[in-house]
Amino acid sequence: MVGNRRRILLQTIQQINESTTIFHRLPFVPFDVSYLSCCFVHPKNYLLPLPITHYPLPITHYPLPITHYPLPIIYMDCLNDMDLEALRRICSGGVFQGVDLSALSHWRIGGFADLLLRPASAEEVVALRRWFFSRDISHVVTGKTSNLLFADEGLRVPCLQIGQALSEISIEGEEVFAGAGAWVPGLARTLMLHGLSGGEHMSGIPGALGGLVCMNGGSNGRSVGGNVVSVESVDRQGTLITREARECGFDYRRSVYQANGEIITSLHLRFLPGDRKAIRRVMLADLATRRKKFPLKEPSCGSVFKRNAPMYADIGPPGAVIEQLGFKGMRVGGAMVSPKHANFIVNTGQAKAADILEAIRRIRDTVYDQTGYTLHTEACYVTPEGKVLPVDSVL
Ligand SMILES: Cc1cc2nc3c(=O)[nH]c(=O)nc-3n(C[C@H](O)[C@H](O)[C@H](O)COP(=O)(O)OP(=O)(O)OC[C@H]3O[C@@H](n4cnc5c(N)ncnc54)[C@H](O)[C@@H]3O)c2cc1C
């Protein structure tokens, strides 16, 4: 039986080698020949392409029937094995090849990312940026991906994910120092435990602090920028920069970090002393409201469209307007306008980025036709070349 499987595998490898050029032209390829030396047949007749340690997710996530498994491929021909070795030496948090973005991303959508790096300190971010800058290799930064739509074609540039490895929090009185990878609901809870008020509105936002600051996110009329004292970041050349809050260009869902290409590594925030029990009550009430209002069980990126102030004053928030126009429950492929909240587009299982884009386009155009107001998206689209753009700018 095992011999038979090996024979099938060998035949497959042979076929692949013969048709490599065809595979290389496809966005998703069933096999990557460069990995085949690492492949082995799983007892359940699955093909595992890489040493498990190269994958960021639990092994159970990967084995799919051999016929359905789109194995990752490294398109990044600018990086050879020695380069990857050098990157592994710099980046102790992990260097992962061929990462399935539909498994990793919050919306559960996207092709394969050629290379994902998880730096474990600001020094590692500096070293990585210098390394990429000296070779003229562009790259993209993400946090928890809770505001991002990755392209179906995946990502052809390295992706630096700022997460758990950079998530230390320390508190001195009202001054809070936190790594950009700090999990926002966790930070809100820590603030509450220290009797600090002002972070309650962040308790249900499923992002990392760096992503939240870049988006100047928040809820209940508040934004994180209001609590920022200063931000430490790393520019493209690999220089550490500290900006005071007034230099960060905070506005409604805006900051300079959306355009300046800097990677936020840590934050100095300030909160006010408050009563722990009262803060906890506000947080629990906020979480309960969110559970009631938002479809939290299905993958989404939260509110797709930003508030349009004149439209808000005239006819209401995006969710209410989209609902009035009858979009709740509308499906495009695997994407659906949530029946619970019309400003959420959920992935019902197999949604493609193309489905989400089409749904957003239909909503935006109809809102414009019916009301005269243009809605802009809060959610951002990540192109295969690593550009992060508001989704509505690519429709
Ligand atoms: C169910 C749900 C509810 C949500 N509710 C809210 C809400 O109430 N309010 C709200 O504002 N948002 C909300 N969001 C959206 C999202 O959670 C926030 O925008 C969040 O702050 C994004 O953080 P992230 O770490 O996931 O960033 P990502 O989505 O990974 O990235 C967002 C942007 O930040 C950039 N970025 C990420 N990390 C860094 C860094 N370290 N340095 C520089 N740039 C960086 C990325 O390049 C990208 O441009 C919600 C999302 C979901 C899924």
CATH architecture of 303-378: Alpha-Beta Complex (3.90)
* Whole-number pLDDT of residue 10: 42
* Whole-number pLDDT of residue 156: 86
What spacing in Å lies between the alpha carbon of 83 and ligand 1's midpoint? 30
- The ligand 1 atom at the shortest distance from the C-alpha of residue 253 is 11
Nearest CA to ligand 1 atom 35: 211
Evaluate if pTM is beyond 0.75.
Answer: yes
Q: Is 379 in the pocket of ligand 1 (CB under 6 A)?
A: no
Best of 104, 105, 142 for a ligand 1 pocket test (most atoms within 8 Å of beta carbon) = 142
Q: Is 219 in the pocket of ligand 1 (CB under 6 A)?
A: yes
* Whole-number pLDDT of residue 114: 86
Is position 378 annotated as part of the catalytic site?
Answer: yes
- The ligand 1 atom at the shortest distance from the C-alpha of residue 212 is 21
Candidates 118, 129, 253, 364; catalytic one: 253
Q: Is 207 in the pocket of ligand 1 (CB under 6 A)?
A: yes
CATH of domain 166-279: 3.30.465.10
| Domain regions of the chain by residue span | 1-53, 166-279, 303-378
* Whole-number pLDDT of residue 81: 77
Local structure of residue 160 (DSSP, 8 states) = E
127-134 own/partner pairs: CB under 8 Å, 24+ apart: 127/90, 127/238, 128/87, 128/90, 128/91, 128/160, 128/238, 129/234, 129/235, 129/236, 129/237, 129/238, 129/263, 130/237, 130/238, 131/86, 131/87, 131/90, 132/158, 133/236, 133/237, 133/238
Cα 322 to the center of its chain, rounded Å: 25
Best of 205, 232, 344 for a ligand 1 pocket test (most atoms within 8 Å of beta carbon) = 205
Q: What is the number of alpha carbons within 13 Å of residue 327 lying toward its C-beta?
A: 30
* Whole-number pLDDT of residue 78: 64
* Whole-number pLDDT of residue 14: 41
Instruction: Output the tens digit of pLDDT for each of the chain's 395 residues.
Output: 333 444 444 444 444 433 332 223 223 333 333 333 333 333 333 333 433 333 334 434 434 333 333 343 334 556 777 888 999 999 999 999 888 999 999 999 999 888 999 999 999 999 999 999 998 899 999 999 999 999 998 998 999 999 999 999 999 999 999 999 999 999 999 999 999 999 999 999 999 999 999 999 999 999 999 999 999 999 999 999 999 999 999 999 999 999 999 999 999 999 999 999 999 999 999 999 999 999 999 999 999 999 999 999 999 999 999 999 999 999 999 999 999 999 999 999 999 999 999 999 999 999 999 999 999 999 999 999 899 999 999 99
Q: Is 388 in the pocket of ligand 1 (CB under 6 A)?
A: yes
Residue 277, C-beta contacts closer than 8 angstroms, at least 6 positions apart: none
Best of 147, 236, 240 for a ligand 1 pocket test (most atoms within 8 Å of beta carbon) = 147
Q: Is 104 in the pocket of ligand 1 (CB under 6 A)?
A: no
Is position 121 annotated as part of the catalytic site?
Answer: no
- The ligand 1 atom at the shortest distance from the C-alpha of residue 300 is 53
Two structure tokens written together for 273? 């002393």
Strands in 180-294 per DSSP E: 196-197, 228-234, 240-244, 263-270, 272-273
Residue 44 CB neighbours (<10 A): 7
Q: Is 147 in the pocket of ligand 1 (CB under 6 A)?
A: yes
Nearest to 307 by CA among 217, 223, 375: 375
Is position 108 annotated as part of the catalytic site?
Answer: no
CB 135 within 8 A of CB 82: no
CB 391 within 8 A of CB 317: no
* Whole-number pLDDT of residue 76: 52
What spacing in Å lies between the alpha carbon of 366 and ligand 1's midpoint? 27
What spacing in Å lies between the alpha carbon of 257 and ligand 1's midpoint? 12
Q: What is the number of alpha carbons within 13 Å of residue 175 lying toward its C-beta?
A: 5
CB 69 within 8 A of CB 47: yes
- DSSP H or E run through 331: strand 331-332
Decide if 166-279 and 303-378 have a common fold: no
